[in-house]
Structure 1
Amino acid sequence: MSADPTRFTAVDETADLMERRGEPNLIYLELAVTGRFDVDRLRAAVRTAFAAHPATRSHRAPTPPWRTRSRWQLTAWPATDPLTVRTGPSLDSLDSLDLAAERRAILDTPLDLRDAPLLRLRLLTGAPGGDRLLLVAHHAGFDGMGFVGVLLAICAAYNATPQPPCAAPAPSGTPHAVPAAPGRVSGGPAHPWAPVPGAALPLPLPVAASGGAPRAVPAALGPASGAAGVPKGPGPGAGRPVLPVEAVRRPRPGLLPVRPVRVAREPAGGGRSGYAVVPLAFDAERTAALSRAARAAGVTLNDLLLAALALAVVRWNAAHARPTAPLRITMPVNTRDGQTRHDGQGNHSRLTSIGIGADSCAGDPRTLLAAVAARTAEAKAAPAGPQGGPAAVVLGAAWLPRAIRQLLAPGVRFAARALADTTMLSNLGPITALPRSLAGAGDITELWAAAPAPMPRGLSVTALGAGGRLHLMIRHRLEALDASAAAAFTELLAHAVTELSTGAPAPSPALAVPRSPEGPS
């Protein structure tokens, strides 16, 4: 007997009950073009895409407390317009929109599952560099792949063309390359809201955080020997003590499950909370070089990014005198087949956890890459755990009435916070079905995605390929990292990607310790 398509799955139930007040469980996408969207045409395209994807018009029906599963209820068209238009500077106006503030506004406004639609769009139009379309969707209704499928449907409807089929994902163990797009304009005019950092590597490169000034980590890099000391010369690390990885305390093993380390915090002042993002782009030439380096090392590009993220966390924590192990990175795995890779209905991702030893990050880059590749292969080959992670065992249990699961949810959330992985890397792969341009709106120059990063994780990295370019977006909670700290971490991550791709021996990191001591993480 086939499953009732209107019933919540275990993943849907878990995504609903795990959401905490002040931390909306939303997936984020951002699309930039060189020209102007036609608002009426965009509204019509959204309506067409919504008709093709029922999840966009769904909401949670009233659920009696004794029922074991919530149910989705469809509406012909949501009562609330999903598209908001924000107008920026015009030729006779000096007013401007703040992209960082617009991002925060859409990321920090929750979507109520009781009300359709479960997807919201915000068009930022009028800036000289071109328009931007910001989108969020509730994670209970979509995963990252499915959300991208909805965006592709909107683009196809805008261009009045059938949506092209999506290429099948690379098989496990195959190097993940982002194909170049010959003749494609890989970049566009600098956008006044957010210049894309990282387009020109090798490093050092300035990385600008949303709403914050660039912060140069490379100037604080210490000697390759890793000895503790004080960085010399100008830069933000000058005159401050630094610590090598070996000098950092590490948790002792015990009988109980060991809590993974947290990314060392540099929170925003004044008790500020909420989400912010930092984009990092590698141009087509650099992306092709990364893919070649991964193939030469016998690993996938995803393995290289996992290793770079681990290296960045270890170096960041070492500089802050925080533990560097045990380090675990959540890696979602798409369980769709090749024909439904971007199916926009429901959640079809299995969460795996990749453990990476801090000792691996202190040696030869090839050793680290080999260790990460072995762990990802083990994770993909291991029997599938519960969809939605361990929390789904309770919150997604089909035999428990919803009222009981609601009572258990605070305890499950507490346990999940204690044992949550250090960070997350979500790799959506190359978006080959993305058109090169939109009719009358110009070339598509940027596409970004960002997975949620609830506390205590506080940081996630989402990767995708668009137009032959690798785009990484770092999403962070301001309670974990302020804008300046997030920019510094992003630059550290960019250095790690470059270092691993070149195969140069990885020196023991030595970064500047903040002036003010950090509180408990």
Structure 2
Amino acid sequence: PGPSPWARPARVAQGSPSGGPGNGVLVADLAVPRRPPGAAYTVNDRLLVATALMIADWNRAHGAPPGPMRITMPVDDRPRGADMPMGNGTRLVQVPFTAAELASAGRGAVDELLYRTAARTRALKAVPRPQLGYGVGLLAAPVVPVAWRAVAARALRTAAGPWTSTALLSNIGRVPYALDFGDAGRADAVWFSAPTRMPRGLSVTTASSAGRLHLALRWSKALLGREDGARLLELFERHLDATENATTGYGGATEGDSR
């Protein structure tokens, strides 16, 4: 079981912010994580575990008290075929982690955390849910006047602030087509980044092409500085490597989605 849905998620501990408005970004070019045949986890599960352990290590080093985490993740579970609906079919889910299991994984129990995470993501994908959640769906209803929606959205964002997830992870998966920009030439790598509105302040985004994983780590300058970002990226790479040796199977069902 994960943490209570009413528990306030841990925040990323403040580093040495550079000050000023805006965000900082670091990019990396990594090997695409392997997913052994028959494994009960996906590449996305490995990225989730690496993100959670990265933050747990960072917070521990900065004296922040341990607490449960929630990682927001877009999922797209539409069928991949000729009948796949057009348009943006992603919806946001929050994957929970307890403080105890993050501490255990930090001492070497990565396998157990990886398979617990896989079970949670499968369960979250199986639950029918509006694309942007019930609250946003209500605010977007055409029966609500636009001016009221704006006021309600600001009030809802403020009220929900303490329960905002710890970080955001978005993996768009493999880019299967050529990145051809006409006269500008052809690219063999692509990076993108996601918003880092406070109090979350941190996002990890990935895409893969030409057999490489292109990662962007983005943070709010009100929370972290460039050296902090470099340290977080180092921690992420270390924990992603640690998931490489997880035992396949672990009593879980095979997951067909490589993401």
TM-score bucket (shorter structure): 0.7 to 0.9
The 5-angstrom pairing of residues 282-297 of structure 1 reads: 282=30, 286-287=31-32, 290-292=33-35, 294-295=36-37, 297=39
Name the structure 2 match of 1:365: 110
Partners of 2:226 and 2:200 in 1: CA distance: 16
Which one of the candidate residues 291, 308, 327 is aligned to 2:69?
A: 327
What secondary structure does 2:190 align onto? strand
Is 1:257 aligned to residue 2 of structure 2?
Answer: no
Higher helix share: 2
Name the structure 2 match of 1:483: 226
Is 1:313 aligned to residue 55 of structure 2?
Answer: yes
Partners of 1:281 and 1:333 in 2: CA distance: 23
Is 1:277 aligned to residue 19 of structure 2?
Answer: no
What secondary structure does 1:308 align onto? helix
Name the structure 2 match of 1:518: none
1:321-342 residue CA offsets vs partner (Å, 9 max, x unmatched):
1133210011111255535879
- Matched length: 240
Alignment RMSD, CA only?
2.6
- Normalised TM-score (structure 1): 0.43
With over 3 angstroms needed to count, the CA separation of the structure-2 counterparts of 1:342 and 1:276, relative to structure 1, is farther
The 5-angstrom pairing of residues 208-223 of structure 1 reads: none
Query: Quick check: 1:394–1:405 contact (8 Å CA) kept in 2?
Result: no
What secondary structure does 1:460 align onto? strand
Is 1:379 aligned to residue 142 of structure 2?
Answer: no
Partners of 1:358 and 1:411 in 2: CA distance: 30
Structure 1 unaligned regions, length at least 5: 1-252, 505-521
What secondary structure does 1:475 align onto? strand
Name the structure 2 match of 1:409: 153
Q: 1:443 offset after TM fit, Å?
A: 4.6
Partners of 2:182 and 2:6 in 1: CA distance: 54
Query: Quick check: 1:313–1:324 contact (8 Å CA) kept in 2?
Result: no
Q: Which amino acid in structure 2 is aligned with residue 485 of structure 1?
A: D
Query: Quick check: 2:190–2:214 contact (8 Å CA) kept in 1?
Result: yes
Q: 1:368 offset after TM fit, Å?
A: 0.9
With over 3 angstroms needed to count, the CA separation of the structure-2 counterparts of 1:399 and 1:375, relative to structure 1, is same
Is 1:470 aligned to residue 213 of structure 2?
Answer: yes
Partners of 1:495 and 1:342 in 2: CA distance: 38
Q: 1:409 offset after TM fit, Å?
A: 2.4
1:204-226 residue CA offsets vs partner (Å, 9 max, x unmatched):
xxxxxxxxxxxxxxxxxxxxxxx
Is 1:501 aligned to residue 244 of structure 2?
Answer: yes
Q: 1:472 offset after TM fit, Å?
A: 1.3
With over 3 angstroms needed to count, the CA separation of the structure-2 counterparts of 1:267 and 1:456, relative to structure 1, is farther
Of structures 1 and 2, the larger Rg is shown by 1
How much identity, in percent, do the aligned residues show?
A: 35
Partners of 1:478 and 1:342 in 2: CA distance: 38
Partners of 1:266 and 1:277 in 2: CA distance: 15
With over 3 angstroms needed to count, the CA separation of the structure-2 counterparts of 1:330 and 1:486, relative to structure 1, is same
Q: 1:304 offset after TM fit, Å?
A: 0.7
Query: Quick check: 1:278–1:475 contact (8 Å CA) kept in 2?
Result: yes
With over 3 angstroms needed to count, the CA separation of the structure-2 counterparts of 1:489 and 1:340, relative to structure 1, is farther
Query: Quick check: 2:178–2:186 contact (8 Å CA) kept in 1?
Result: no
With over 3 angstroms needed to count, the CA separation of the structure-2 counterparts of 1:372 and 1:366, relative to structure 1, is same
Partners of 1:421 and 1:397 in 2: CA distance: 25
What secondary structure does 2:100 align onto? helix
With over 3 angstroms needed to count, the CA separation of the structure-2 counterparts of 1:368 and 1:332, relative to structure 1, is same
Partners of 2:76 and 2:83 in 1: CA distance: 10
- Normalised TM-score (structure 2): 0.83
Partners of 2:223 and 2:83 in 1: CA distance: 36
Partners of 1:341 and 1:319 in 2: CA distance: 46
Name the structure 2 match of 1:193: none
Is 1:268 aligned to residue 17 of structure 2?
Answer: yes
Partners of 2:37 and 2:55 in 1: CA distance: 24
Partners of 1:311 and 1:341 in 2: CA distance: 35
With over 3 angstroms needed to count, the CA separation of the structure-2 counterparts of 1:394 and 1:411, relative to structure 1, is farther
Is 1:392 aligned to residue 136 of structure 2?
Answer: yes
1:469-488 residue CA offsets vs partner (Å, 9 max, x unmatched):
11111111111111110111
What secondary structure does 1:446 align onto? coil
Partners of 1:342 and 1:468 in 2: CA distance: 27
Partners of 2:54 and 2:39 in 1: CA distance: 20
With over 3 angstroms needed to count, the CA separation of the structure-2 counterparts of 1:317 and 1:499, relative to structure 1, is same
